[in-house]
Amino acid sequence: MIGPNKNIRAARYGMTIDVDRCSGCGACMVACAVENNVPPANPKATDRTGLTWIRVYKIDNGLPYPETRSAFVPVLCQHCGNETPCVHVCPQQAVEVDPATGVVGEMPQRCLGCRYCVAACPYHARYFNWWDPKWPAGMEKTLNPDVTPRMRGVVEKCNFCHGRWHAAKQQAAADGKPDTEPVEYTPACAEACPTKAIRFGDLNDPASEPAQAAKNGESFRLLEKLDTGSKIYYRSKREWVRQIANAPHPAASGKESFHG
Partner 1 sequence: MRGVFPFAAGLAIMLAAGWVGFPYAIYKSRPQPVDFSHKVHADKAGAKCEDCHAFRADGTFAGEPTLDKCSSCHAAAMGSTLAEKNFIDRYVTPGREPEWESYARQPDNVFFSHIAHVKRAKIACETCHGNHGSSDRPRAYQEDRLSGYSRDIWQVGERAKTTRASMTMNGCVDCHRQQGLSQSCLDCHK
Partner 2 sequence: MKSTRRDLFKFTGGAAVGALLSPAPWRLVTDTALWSETWPGVPRPATGEIGAKYTNCSMCPAGCAVRARTVNGQPVALMGVAEHPFSHGVLCPFGLAGHHLPYHPARLKQGPVAEAKAAAMEALAKCGKGERAAVLDLRPGRTASWTYRRALAQWTDAAYLAPPRTLGGVVAVNLAAAKIVLSFGAPVLDGWGTLGNAIAARDGFRLIQAETVESRTAVLADVWLPIRPGSEVALARAIAGLLRKEDNSSLQAAASQTGLREEQIVEVARELAANRPALVLDSQERSEILALNQLTGSLGRAIVTRRETPVPDSWKKAAAETELDAVADRSIRLLLIDESVPGAYVPWSAIERKLVADNPVVVAFAWSRGGYGRHARFVLPTAVYPEGVDDIPPAVDSPLAMFRLSNALVPAPAGVVNPAEFVAGLAGISASDALRERSDAIAKTGRGTLFTYADAKSARAKDVKPDDFWKALNQGACWMDDPPPRTEIPKLASRRATAPAAADDLPFAVVMADAYALPCSPILSKVYQESNLRLAANRAALHPSAAGDCGVKDGCRAMIETRSGKLEVLVTLDAAVPKGVVQLAAAASTLELFASSARAKVVRI
Binding site for partner 1 (CB under 8 A): 1-6, 8, 96, 98-101, 103, 105, 107, 109-110, 146-148, 159, 162-163, 165-167, 169-176, 179
Cα gap 255→234, rounded to integer Å: 23
Using left for φ > 0, alpha for ψ between -120 and 50, and beta otherwise, residue 51 falls in beta
In the complex, the smallest distance separating the C-beta of residue 204 from partner 1, rounded to whole angstroms, is 16
Nearest Cα to Cα of residue 220 among 255, 260, 200, 247: 247
CB of 129 to partner 2, least distance (A): 10
Phi and psi torsions of 105, nearest 5°: -95, 125
Find out whether 178 and 66 touch, Cβ atoms under 8 Å. Answer: no
> Toward partner 1, which CB reaches closer, 187 or 213?
187
User: Which residues ranging from 128 to 167 are in contact with partner 2 (CB under 8 A)?
Assistant: 132-145, 147-151
Is residue 154 classed as helix, strand or coil in its secondary structure? coil
Question: Should residue 69 be labelled a site residue for partner 2 when binding is judged by CB under 8 A?
Answer: yes
Q: Which stretch binds partner 2 (CB under 8 A): 19-27, 93-101, 173-181, 217-225?
A: 19-27
Alpha helices in 54-105 (DSSP H): 85-89
- Sites for partner 2 among residues 27-46 (CB under 8 A): 27, 29-31, 33-35, 37-38, 40-41, 45-46
What are 18's strand-pairing partners?
235
Residue type, 213: A
| Number of DSSP helices (H) and strands (E) in the chain, helices first | 8, 10
Least distance in Å: CB of 24 to partner 2?
Answer: 5
Q: Which residues bind partner 2 (CB under 8 A)?
A: 21, 23-27, 29-31, 33-35, 37-38, 40-41, 45-47, 50-52, 55-58, 60, 64-66, 68-72, 109, 132-145, 147-151, 188, 191-192, 194-195, 254-255, 257-260
